[in-house]
Chains A and B, each alone.
Chain A
């Protein structure tokens, strides 16, 4: 296989490689392998969360900074697309302008936060991003004229992407070639391109400097790298990527609101994806995204079954209530940070090196 196109960065273990290839093939042919609106929507979510988690990994895994504002950038991209479309400017130019404008705005905000808080103290950064994210959430819910408040914005897409559009009159392999399918492949293609781009970036000299800073900040500084500049750039890049993922999310949902793209629950999901898959590997978060999205789609019904089975027992039905799935994700998260801190891909890599 020609690893050169991904800068020689291999998954690092045959099992990881196999899993990633399965994921790639599954996503590439999802509408044909798993027909049905629900499963295609799940596949599209996986694509989007791969970009979101990988972009978060640039920050968390490659610089060791924990940000809680990542969903804010995700939401900025989503609003970037949603606002023009919901206001009647329906066209490709609106999608492009909204998505790229959102990405630019997100990168700008991230750079501003970075310059302010990475200057003071690294530990402040996490706390400050939390505060800024909560402010953004407040803005999104209060500024009703623009964002639609809690209700959010519903909009229609350019004609080719709308569900009613038919590209071919006859189904191919039993699947209708409609706007929904085109939307899926648009999301798939953009996600794949962005993921590839991120792989190239983290394996470029820039990415190596980031890793050097993560390993030993003082040494990197002594070698003449201005750590603040590099961290801020990484932060801006990560935010821009998250915003594009957000734009894709808006296209998928044909809706955007605070709950859809900026809730704390999504932030927790992204953290989980990166940590479960393996921080600082980029491939890991891709696997993590698949695992978590699938768990969301298929774990909740499982919890319901457990809850029903526990029926008459005290407290157990409440513990296994489908709405308490976050509890179990939290427990899983703690266990992984303890026992598998390198995540799936990191642990596999370590094993193949040993």
Chain B
């Protein structure tokens, strides 16, 4: 996604297929197919949640520990929206079901983006340039945001109604494939493609790519990178909100800790992918999703540990992640 490369570097692209093929002999084919689809779906949702964080870091060197709060917010907005649209969600029509989900996604994106805008103004703006202060202040923001979610929606877990048609599954290649997972994969791919187009085909995307590499030079060329960053921050938090909707609906239950639980996975994803790289984020999100599902099936107790092991392995191999971003 970062334009033409000086030297094509194929090794990181091979990681995904290698992992998928290695898992195949350990299980029956239909199981493998089910798990692969589940892993891809989880990966797509992780990508939605993580892509904003990696771009925010890449562009402004800002590490937002409160990113998970926007996932939580998205999930809770989905609870409220799908609760209101219960008629559409329960209707015996795929179309109406999808409209209910789309409404939840849109509202969550708007709410998360708006809160993200405020968060950037109030919290982030004053701590540019100091990682230490950023981490401290965003941890403070995370605590406040999480507590506010509890104030608004209560501390108890809430059911989130998955639209009726998306509960079912269909048989392909001898494996049962849940419809919702396909929706998640489709949405993830759609957003990845849209990001790809924006980054590579528009002037704003050009500025973002340039800014990730050398923001001082972008300013010296006459661009106000602050505005650009606000835009990226809002987009990133909106995407986190969308990820929260998709993940919440997938789990069918939402707790105030939903964002925190994902934050750790998201950090693993962006570290493996290479901080600041959208392509890396996409590949590593799917890698993490696949590994979690394969290992979760083969040895459930190792599920979270395997992601950390994966991160350690990747860092030992490539200390700056699979797709390192050149920084000046």
Contacts and interface: CB of A to CB of B under 8 A. Distances in A.
Do A and B interact directly, with beta carbons closer than 8 Å? yes
Interface of A: 60, 64, 66, 116-117, 119-124, 126-128, 130-132, 134-135, 138, 142, 264, 268, 271, 275, 315, 318-319, 321, 323-324, 326-327, 329-331, 333-334, 337-338, 341
A333 B275 CA distance: 27
B44 interface: no
Contacts of A268: 139, 143
B126 interface: yes
Contact of B143 (A60, A127, A329, A337): A329
Interface of B: 63, 65, 123, 126-127, 131-133, 135-137, 139-144, 147-148, 150-151, 155, 260, 263-264, 267-268, 271, 275, 301, 304-305, 307-308, 311-312, 315-316, 319-320
Contact of B311 (A123, A128, A321, A341): A128
Q: What DSSP secondary structure best describes chain B's contact surface? A: helix
Given A134-B304, A327-B143, A327-B147, A333 B136 contact: yes
Contact of B263 (A121, A130, A142): A130
Given A64-B132, A116-B315, A130 B147 contact: no
Contact of B136 (A127, A271, A329): A271
Contacts of B308: 131-132, 135
A315 B260 CA distance: 24
B147 A127 contact: no
24 contacts: A66-B132, A66-B135, A120-B320, A123-B63, A126-B65, A130-B263, A130-B264, A131-B264, A131-B267, A131-B307, A135-B304, A138-B304, A142-B301, A271-B139, A319-B151, A323-B155, A324-B150, A327-B143, A327-B144, A327-B147, A327-B151, A330-B140, A331-B140, A333-B140
B151 A324 contact: yes
Nearest to B304: A138
Given A130-B263, A134-B264, A333-B136, A338 B126 contact: yes
Contacts of B147: 324, 326-327, 330
Contacts of B132: 60, 64, 66
B140 A130 contact: no
B138 to A, nearest CB: 9
Given A120-B315, A131-B308, A334-B123, 12 more contacts: A116-B312, A116-B316, A120-B319, A121-B320, A123-B63, A324-B150, A326-B147, A331-B144, A333-B136, A333-B140, A337-B127, A337-B140
Contacts, number: 98
Given A64-B132, A324-B150, A124 B137 contact: no
Contacts of B141: 330, 334
B131 A122 contact: yes
A266 to B, nearest CB: 13
Contacts of B315: 116-117, 120, 124
Contacts of B123: 334
A330 B148 CA distance: 11
A283 to B, nearest CB: 20
Contacts of A329: 143
Contact of B275 (A123, A324, A330): A123
Nearest to B257: A264
A123 B131 contact: yes
Contacts of A66: 131-132, 135-136
A66 B135 CA distance: 8
Nearest to B265: A131
Nearest to B301: A142
B126 to A, nearest CB: 6
B50 to A, nearest CB: 12
A53 to B, nearest CB: 14
A158 B127 CA distance: 50
A334 B271 contact: no
A127 B151 contact: no
A112 to B, nearest CB: 10
A116 B311 CA distance: 11
A123 B63 CA distance: 8
B263 to A, nearest CB: 7
Given A327-B151, A333-B136, A126 B312 contact: no
A132 B267 CA distance: 12
A115 to B, nearest CB: 11
Contacts of B150: 324
A338 B136 CA distance: 10
The 6 closest A-B pairs by CB, nearest first: A330-B143, A327-B147, A127-B267, A334-B140, A330-B144, A333-B140
A337 B301 contact: no
A275 B301 CA distance: 37
Contacts of A341: 133
Nearest to A319: B151
A318 B264 CA distance: 29
Contacts of B139: 268, 271, 333
Nearest to A126: B135
Contacts of A334: 123, 137, 140-141, 144
B295 to A, nearest CB: 14
Contacts of A333: 136, 139-140, 143
